[in-house]
Amino acid sequence: MSSWKLAAAFALVGLRAVGAQNCTFDSITPSRDLVWCSCEGHFFCAKLDVSYLSHGIPPLITNSISQVPLDYQNPSLGRASVPLIKIAATAGSPDGPYRGAILINPGGPGASGVELARNNGTTVQVAAGSNFDIIGFDPRGVGLSEPRPNCSAGIPKHQSGALSGRDAPRVVDAYYQQFIDFGKELGKKCQAQTGADTEAGPHMTTAVTARDMLSIVEAFSASPDGNRTVLDSSKLNYYGVSYGTMLGQTFASMFPGRVGHVAIDGVVDPANYQANFTSGSIYHLDGVLGAFFVYCHAAGPDVCSFYSGNTPKDIFSRWNASFVQLDPQRAEAKGWANATDIGLALVTLKVSILSAVVQPLAEFRRISDVFVALEKAISSSAIAAWTEQTNAIYGDPNVGGYVNPEQTLGVLCSDQSNVWYGKSLEDIQPLLDGLKDNSIVGEVWSRAMLGCLEWPIRSNDVFRGPYGGNTSYPMLFVSNTFDPTTPIENAILNAPKYVNARRVTIDGMGHTTTATNNRCGFGAIRSYFQDTMCGKEHYCPLELGPFNVQLNGTIQENLETAGLSNLRSLY
């Protein structure tokens, strides 16, 4: 669910010198010491087996892959290896003395921290300070971790375009059912292949990954790098976004005395994540969509291709004229031959909007062109071609676009203690209705979670709280005022549970700080990691937005002025 494109204002730091040894993850043997080898150009790689640090088990071999117990509560079940990749701190950094390592997590669940470090670790380092190492790691069962599930190959992915309209056009049961049916086949196959206690399936919870993080910290503290840092190397330094904030809160609640500089950005509410199908995640999704019309109007017709009329609401009306025509119920009632095409187009439109509102700076120009193309497709009866072209941009919104579902479901369903297993579509209808009520495109947010209705693998290591604690160093909670998938209310609710926690509020749109390109926000994060932050509450005003437009006032004020602060009320 996260993107890591920082501002052009952040110049990339230079490449680091590496040693003579070169390795690949395939060539590394897991080790119980944290020993790095140069890899992939300017990176350093390791695989860690660090259980003896936490469990009193003597070390075996020293090598380059880190292993941990498959089950911390029953180490006799076997070992698991955690891959790590590091961008080393700059020697003689202008930011000051070496401050140790920051672990990073990109969200998901099911996303790879190794991939995050490969692709954007340097920019994270620029944001936090070049006197930190940046270490990406893969959570249990994800990416290059071992063991990991690989059971989705070969399962047919049948999609359904059956949809229905009611006020704002909405998807209906057949759309959800395709994900449930696929999840049933996936669950059976994964149970057979990876559901045993000695396999990955039962050990993919956030709690297990939090224990792995503690093992990484202990291995780092015992390493030469840990001995030379000016900070307490026995404490976790961490930057997590989206689901990574769930991981950060879990670690801080389980091990409050081991918290160093822990910044979480785009905050998940643990109670909602574990119990409510994340139905409370999209409160501000329509607000970001409404802001598209505001910014498009401010940009003008030469910049925004979808510009129309004299007000932002005129642009909304133009968009809505296309939206309401994607009504499969009416099409089926009238016996139109393209009823299925209309249904598929509705899903594609909603998912493309969901993708765009996560990254408005990067996507509003493109989604403007998509809206123009939709108008033309409707007028020329070319809906199917528009759907195909748009899916090529944003991905297949149906089950065919499901990527590594076993990694997402393995974490998500286990963290929820399989509370939805065996439930029917009818059983969860109130939660789906809640998504629909929160946003005119909200029901497509349920896609990743529907497989939990048929996910049979359970874990005995799930942290259910209480969340909060007297951490050894104050945490930092960072939120945008209009984050479409992790609302600011989550930070307001959860930050007070951690003693002396600090908050940064950015008036901006999109998912996490990187979506806003807000220099004040990046500066606040840097000041936190460099120990120059004063006070507990920090506010960053709205900066340059989509189409290179600087609005006057706050986003909320602009939405209210435009009459677009509640899109649902317009139906």
Confidence of residue 548 (pLDDT cuts 50, 70, 90): very high
Question: Residue 276's pLDDT is what?
Answer: 75
Indicate the range of 57-61, 180-184, 375-379 predicted with least confidence: 57-61
**539 DSSP β-pair partners:** 505
Q: Where are the alpha helices (DSSP H) in 143-284?
A: 173-194, 206-221, 224-228, 243-254, 270-275
Determine the residue type at 247. L
Q: Could you tell me the residue ranges of all domains in the chain?
A: 17-87
Tell me which of 385 and 446 has the higher pLDDT: 385
| Mean pLDDT on 343-361 | 96
Query: pLDDT at position 3, please?
Result: 32
pLDDT score at 171? 66
Q: Indicate whether 412 pLDDT > 60.
A: yes
Q: State the pLDDT confidence band at 169, using cuts at 50, 70 and 90.
A: low
> What pLDDT sits at residue 340?
86
Nearest to 149 by CA among 109, 111, 199: 199
Question: What is the per-residue pLDDT across 54-101, written as a single tens digit (0 to 9) for each?
Answer: 333 333 322 234 556 666 777 767 778 899 999 999 999 999 999 999
Instruction: Please calculate the CA angle 516-519-520 and round it to the nearest 5 degrees.
Output: 105
How wide is the angle at C-alpha 304 spanned by C-alphas 300 and 309, nearest 5°?
55
Q: CA–CA separation, 398 vs 346, rounded Å?
A: 12
Per-residue pLDDT tens over the stretch 355-369: 999 999 999 999 999
Contact 137, 151 (CB under 8 A): no
DSSP string, 363-421: HHHHHHHHHHHHHHHHHTT-HHHHHHHHHHHH---SGGG--SHHHHHHHHHHHTTTTTT
Residue for token pair 């009818």: 426
Q: Specify the pLDDT at position 503.
A: 98
pTM to 2 decimal places:
0.91
Instruction: Using a pLDDT cut of 90, give the percent of the chain over it.
Output: 68
Pick from 123-132, 144-153, 160-169, 561-570: least confident: 160-169
pLDDT tens string 499-515 = 999 999 999 999 999 99
pLDDT exceeds cutoff 70 at 185: yes
For 60-117, what is the HEC assignment? CCCCCEEEEECCCCCHHHCEEEEEEEEECCCCCCCCCCCCCEEEEECCCCCCCHHHHH
Q: Supply φ then ψ for residue 146, to 5 degrees.
A: -135, 135
Q: Work out the number of other CB atoms within 10 angstroms of the CB of residue 431.
A: 16
Tokens of 293: 């019309």
* DSSP-assigned letters across all residues of 504-541: EEEEEESSSHHHHT-HHHHHHHHHHHTT---SSEEEE-
Among the residue ranges 141-155, 276-290, 300-314, 456-470, the one predicted with the least confidence is: 141-155
Calculate the average pLDDT of the chain. Answer: 88
Count CB-CB contacts under 10 A for residue 114: 24
pLDDT over 90 at 325, yes or no: yes
Least confident of 113-117, 169-173, 429-433: 169-173
Residue 453 has pLDDT above 90, yes or no: yes
Specify the length of the chain in residues.
571
Query: What pLDDT was estimated at residue 192?
Result: 94
Q: Say yes or no to pLDDT of 159 above 60.
A: no
pLDDT of residue 63: 29
Q: How confident is the model at residue 314 (pLDDT cuts 50, 70, 90)?
A: very high
Quick one: which of 137, 438, 425 has its CA closest to 286?
438
Helix (H) or strand (E) run with residue 278 in it: none
Q: Of 72, 59, 4, which is closest to residue 32 (Cα–Cα)? A: 59
DSSP labels, 100-163: -EEEEE--TTT--HHHHHHHHHHHHHHHH-TTSEEEEEPPTTSTT-BS-----TT--------E
Distance CA 34, CA 279 (A): 40
3-state SS of 405-435 is HHHHHHHHHHHCCCCCCCCCCCCCHHHHHHH
Highest mean pLDDT of the ranges 126-135, 145-154, 275-284? 126-135
